[in-house]
Amino acid sequence: MVGRNYFCREEGCGVTMANLFKGWPKDRIAVVTYEIDPCEEEICNRSYLLGFDEIRMIWPFSLFQNKVISGIITSYKGERKEKPACSFRKKSLYLVLKKIIITFFSFLSLYPLLVEIRISHKLLKFIDEYNPNIIYSQLANPVVISLVSSLHHARKVPIVLYIQDDWPKVIGKMGIFQFFLSRKFDREFRNLINKASVLIGISTAMCGEYKKRYGREFLPFSNPIETEKWLVYSKTNWQAGSPFKILYAGRIGRVNTQAIFDLCQAIRKLKSRGLDLRLEIYSKDVDFAKAKKNKISDVANINNPLAHEEMPRLLASQDLLFLPLDFGRKNILYTQYSMSTKISEYMISGTPILIYASPKTALYKYAEAEKFAHLVSERSIDKLLEAIKDLYVNEDLRESYGKKAKEVAIKNHDATIVRSNFRKALTQQS
């Protein structure tokens, strides 16, 4: 695994990867990452932290780079046995200059051009001792594209690429050099695709689009679920609670913030009309100052995320699950072929789902085709409000969505079947 720390369950991609690779022989998985979050010990305990030896800014910008020391990370129950160190200069002028430089080049989208990738002897030793059959990566930025290409050139190991969002469509599209940069990144990405042995997309919509765009077959794999474990807690009674509990769990960021604010506004209006509603948000990304400024806190309880093993009980205890994607043009470009990690977990819970997203997105199309969720297809507080009210008053509607979602989850997302197919896809090329 090269790039992110794929087995950290604090983010959606980590949940998906941990679920896909669960049961894989642990001694046959190793991670080469630029992130210092610990791997889930059940999946992997062999990690190498990329540091200044491998990812270095060109001089003189390297003078402002944190000198992360490259090396092996060994994690036990979320704690590192060896913790690679960082060296920092603490003078205030240095910190001010560093912030100005990074902000300036990030604004121009030139930051990746300032980074040199070096395959260090230390990294090669780690790889050679492990002797991998494949190089697996989700890429997601130009630096990792260069790193995977360099590793492939150095050791000629087959490449497996997994794309979860359509970042190739939007990368390099900022700043005055966007035409040059987008063409450069597109060329490098296409070159890597042509070298890959296996290509994976997060949804069937993505795989279809990428076949047309890049001329290669992509296999669809999204987050699987152990249905037998989730069904123990799955909802079987759709009588409304008092208050009627609406839940959003997961990331809050550029792709859904405005949609969550819309939900709060709709709930506020419904509460003023006498409906007994409560919104619960579980996320590690909540900016409490921003939440207060936008008056989320008057209608929502904002909570830190629960451990993943607690999610089956939590989701089934709610009356409605909310799944939003913002409607802005750039957000749609980025998310239109994505598939939310939490959708399979929402579905198997049996709690009815309300999807607030553009009909151009793969998420919306999937729910529309399988008829497992209530849909709002345009940005409208009034239509969102009416959808919530319909689900609030209609128990039969809630039950029909809950039962259908469970049925589709068992059919399409059962971990036993998905993991078997995923393993076949990877091992046939190793």
**DSSP assignment letter at 113:** G
Distance CA 352, CA 332 (A): 24
Distance CA 349, CA 245 (A): 14
Q: What is the CATH number of domain 2-224+419-427?
A: 3.40.50
Beta strands 115-117 and 55-57 are antiparallel
Determine the pLDDT at residue 78.
Answer: 44
Q: What is the DSSP string of 132-168?
A: -S-EEE---SHHHHHHHHHHHHHH---EEEEE-S-HH
Question: CA angle 151-156-157, nearest 5°?
Answer: 80
Mean pLDDT of 308-325: 95
Burial status of residue 25 (CB atoms within 10 A of its CB: 0-12, 13-18, 19 or more) = exposed
In this model, does residue 112 exceed pLDDT 90?
no
Determine the pLDDT at residue 302.
Answer: 87
pLDDT band at 253 (very low <50, low <70, confident <90, very high): confident
Q: How far is CA 21 from CA 8, 40, 228, 387, in A?
A: 12, 11, 18, 38
Distance CA 211, CA 25 (A): 32
Beta strands 67-68 and 71-73 are unpaired
In this model, does residue 377 exceed pLDDT 70?
yes
Distance CA 403, CA 278 (A): 23
Determine the pLDDT at residue 251.
Answer: 87
In the chain, residues under CATH classification 3.40.50.2000 are 227-413
Q: Which one has a higher pLDDT value, 372 or 31?
A: 372
Sign of the Cα pseudo-torsion (50, 51, 54, 55, in order)? positive
Burial 149-168 (b: 16+ CB within 10 A, else e): bebbeeeebbbbbbbbbbbb
Determine the pLDDT at residue 293.
Answer: 67
Determine the pLDDT at residue 83.
Answer: 46
Determine the pLDDT at residue 428.
Answer: 73
In this model, does residue 84 exceed pLDDT 90?
no
Lowest mean pLDDT among 43-52, 147-156, 177-186, 299-308: 177-186
CA 232 to chain centroid, in Å, comes to 26
| H/E run at residue 243 | none
Residues linked to residue 194 through DSSP beta bridges, in sequence order: none
Determine the pLDDT at residue 51.
Answer: 86
Neighbours of 21 (CB within 10 A): 24
pLDDT digits (tens, 9 = 90+) for 198-227: 999 999 999 999 999 999 999 999 999 999
In this model, does residue 312 exceed pLDDT 50?
yes
Q: For 298-382, list the strands marked E by DSSP.
A: 300-303, 320-324, 353-356, 374-376
pLDDT band at 400 (very low <50, low <70, confident <90, very high): very high
Determine the pLDDT at residue 70.
Answer: 86
Number of H helices, E strands in the chain: 17, 20
Distance CA 45, CA 316 (A): 32
Closest CA to 336 of 356, 354, 360, 355: 360
Mean pLDDT of 246-252: 92
Q: What is the CATH number of domain 227-413?
A: 3.40.50.2000
In this model, does residue 265 exceed pLDDT 60?
yes
Assess contact for 145 and 188: CB atoms under 8 A: yes
Q: Is 39 helix (H, G, I), strand (E, B) or coil?
A: coil
Mean pLDDT of 378-398: 97
Beta strands 115-117 and 67-68 are unpaired
Sign of the Cα pseudo-torsion (419, 421, 426, 427, in order)? positive
* Residues in contact with 405: Cβ distance below 8 Å, sequence separation at least 6, in sequence order: 346, 347, 348, 349, 350, 352, 353, 372, 373
Amino acid of residue 311: M
Distance CA 341, CA 55 (A): 30
Peptide bond into 60 cis (omega under 30): yes
In this model, does residue 179 exceed pLDDT 80?
no
In this model, does residue 79 exceed pLDDT 70?
no
Q: Which one has a higher pLDDT value, 38 or 251?
A: 251
The model's pTM: 0.85
Determine the pLDDT at residue 76.
Answer: 42
